[in-house]
Structure 1
Amino acid sequence: MSAAIKITRIDHAPAELRALAAKSDDAGQARRLLAIAMIHDGVSRLDAARQAGMDRQTLRDWVHRYNHAGLDGLVSRKPPGARAKLSEAQMAELRELVIAGPDPNIHKVIRWRCVDLRAEVTRRFSVTVPERTIGKWLHKLKLTQLQPRPYHPRKDAAAQEAFKKNFGASLKQALNGCTAATPVEIWFQDEARVGQKGSLSYVWAPVGSRPPMLRDNRHDTAYIFGAICPARGVGAAIIAPAANMECMNLHLAEISTQVAPGSIAAIICDGAGWHQRGGDIKLPDNIVLLPLPPYAPELNPMENVWDYLRANKLSACVWDSYDEILEACAEAWNWLVDDPDRIRSIGTREWATVSV
């Protein structure tokens, strides 16, 4: 039988050890503290071990650790577990692979599934794991499944970056002829179709389920012509039966009434035909247009406004008449403009706050 190991540390008295055990969130450490306190009080090693739920040899090991490291030596240690299948560099490579997405010509799939990634991990790293392990790795890498945002195949990322970088110069060119003392407001403008055949929004639901949501299948529609000025937290809109130049002129006239007196509004909008200068467009004296690059809806925060209104006001609705659609559009827009902080939160873009 091994000889008993003497407790050499005198940092804590038995009463103090018991008090620390009562406060400890580590149940194992608490038992060890109590066992050592009993030994300090003269209780036999065998009785101390039994009352602490361990054998004498285990208690002897903990006494060694206590003598060497004090209270920290009694903390429960997590087992190291199995050796990681992939190194940190390989996990980083896996994350980049998932974010980039598969190449249909190479991987023969258009989206990654766990079974596809399992095969790719085996091919790249010569490591074979179950599919559920791939899922655990993806969560560990802070990845989840999200609804992709569609974009046009002719989207030019470089042109978008150039637009943001050169926004100040473009704005000055659009304001050519205005005096330097004229205050300038940055507005964003766009249109959204709202109708009986509406969109569905995300809802909370049990994992693995597919919650039902009401959707009308008829086709009566209206259009909200909307614009916001994030700096002032204001907006201007009209509701129209179509998206055309006539309705655009009505919207420009409405925006003109909301521009601060003595200021000029630079309206950033996409390249739709009814947004183009010339032709039948009628620009009020206090408005200039600044077109976005082609196929660049990401630069227009009005897209986020429409998503916000659809998710919170214009989804899962059934409208039996056109007038009901108009009423719903008006209610949703008024709800937005009654919250200037929300407009600022959704619409503010750092690149569009250049002083002129």
Structure 2
Amino acid sequence: MSAALILSDAFDADSLRRLAKGCRNAKQGRRLLAIAAVYDGMNRADAAKVGGMDRQTLRDWVLRFNEQGTDGLVDIKATGAPMRLSPEQLEEFVAIVETGPDPEKDGVSVWRSQDLVRVIQERFGVSYKERGVRDLLRRMGYVRISGRPQHPEQKPEVIDAFKKTSPQPLAAHVGHLPKNKPIEIWWQDEARLGQKNGLARLWAKKGTRPRLPADQRYKNAYLFGAICPARGVGAGLMMPFANTQAMQMHLEEVSRTVARGAHAVVLMDRAGWHTTSRLNVPKNITILLLPSKSPELNPVENIWQYLRGTFLSNRVFEDYAAILDAGCQAWKSLSANPTIIHSIGMRKWAQCRFSHGTAIIRY
């Protein structure tokens, strides 16, 4: 025979049902109703069914109710295992993660879970499993993501200076234009698309390793692309080569896409076909060159990542015509979604409004 449930004298069935009626915590409300049934004299098995639990669970909740009152019927959130690294050790561990491994000393160029298990054991004498290290990193706000490319000879101070002083070169390039003439800010770049295609991440069942097509042939073409994030429009051309002639045709395509009566400032890198004097730049376009070795300044680089990851990766192109068709379809899909162009292309440092005496620049 199980022992009878002894309830606190501080409550009764009616008071608990009133509390359950106004309770916002569904689980706590069910427990209140189950204990109210016990107050009414219902047997433990039937009272447990009222709360959607078994008899033993009801007994455990009654004990907490007697000790803590109605607050004892709320679930206690698990705090997890205690931190095994001290605050000072955690600070040092963060520095290790941020700095990255030394390939010659650590034998790897990117930290993996098993590498950090070894580092924690050697540095702090604390034993972790790989899953524990991943949980520790997540608790500190880290996720595993792909890094952005950076030129090895890049000079950060040059990039910072360009961002801070960008209105000045813009003003210098368009100072000859009539006052209050609309100015559009465009970004331009080109990407090689070919049979030797990349592989993008995809969703798959845990423990599986999906096989993806990987062509080893070398036919390719070039997608010339330019975007105006403020308007959410783009101008693209598929070309067989990246040279001055292709660049000339692309500038003319951009010129036709610029809003009527407006002038476009097109920012681009310093490729040879961008800087040659043989280019006949349309009258409604001004070219502004970005600093050398600074691809991350150009949001079209992120447009290429989006197109490859969404439309072009994990595919085999049978011939040159298939490459051209895939590139055109990818750019048409992008152009049909101005929100994507705006979201990927906008840059805070380039969102400026200023007067340079003869024109107002808006972006």
Q: Same fold (TM over 0.5)?
A: yes
| Pairwise CA distance, 1:261 | 2.2
SS in 1 for 2:312: coil
SS in 1 for 2:344: helix
| Pairwise CA distance, 1:7 | 2.7
278-287 or 241-250, which deviates more: 278-287
| Pairwise CA distance, 1:89 | 5.5
| Pairwise CA distance, 1:167 | 1.2
Please say if residues 271 and 294 of structure 1, whose CA atoms lie closer than 8 Å, have aligned partners that are also in contact: yes
| Pairwise CA distance, 1:59 | 8.4
Quick one: structure 1 residues 341 and 121, their matched pair in 2 at CA, closer, same or farther if it must change by over 3 Å?
A: same
Quick one: structure 1 residues 23 and 305, their matched pair in 2 at CA, closer, same or farther if it must change by over 3 Å?
A: closer
| Pairwise CA distance, 1:44 | 11
| Pairwise CA distance, 1:71 | 0.3
Alignment counterpart, residue 53 of structure 1, candidates 53, 56, 59: 56
Q: Corresponding residue for 1:16?
A: 17
Residues 179-190 of structure 1: pairs in structure 2 closer than 5 A: 179-190=178-189
Residues 1-356 of structure 1: pairs in structure 2 closer than 5 A: 7-10=8-11, 13=14, 16=17, 25-26=26-27, 34=34, 38=38, 40-41=39-40, 52-53=55-56, 62=64, 64-65=66-67, 69-77=68-76, 83-87=82-86, 90-91=89-90, 93-104=92-103, 106-276=105-275, 278-355=276-353, 356=361
Instruction: Give the TM-score, by structure 2 length.
Output: 0.81
| Pairwise CA distance, 1:194 | 1.3
Counterparts of 2:43 and 2:151 in 1: how far apart (Å)? 79
Instruction: Give the TM-score, by structure 1 length.
Output: 0.82
Please say if residues 20 and 32 of structure 2, whose CA atoms lie closer than 8 Å, have aligned partners that are also in contact: no
Counterparts of 2:241 and 2:299 in 1: how far apart (Å)? 22
Quick one: structure 1 residues 77 and 36, their matched pair in 2 at CA, closer, same or farther if it must change by over 3 Å?
A: farther
Counterparts of 2:41 and 2:156 in 1: how far apart (Å)? 77
| Pairwise CA distance, 1:138 | 2.5
| Pairwise CA distance, 1:275 | 0.8
96-105 or 182-191, which deviates more: 96-105
| Pairwise CA distance, 1:171 | 0.8
Q: Would you say how many aligned residue pairs link Structure 1 and Structure 2? A: 344
Quick one: structure 1 residues 74 and 284, their matched pair in 2 at CA, closer, same or farther if it must change by over 3 Å?
A: closer
RMSD: 3.5
Quick one: structure 1 residues 338 and 11, their matched pair in 2 at CA, closer, same or farther if it must change by over 3 Å?
A: same
Deviations 1:162-190 (A, max 9, x none): 21121111211222322332211100000
| Pairwise CA distance, 1:267 | 0.5
| Pairwise CA distance, 1:93 | 4.3
Please say if residues 15 and 37 of structure 1, whose CA atoms lie closer than 8 Å, have aligned partners that are also in contact: no
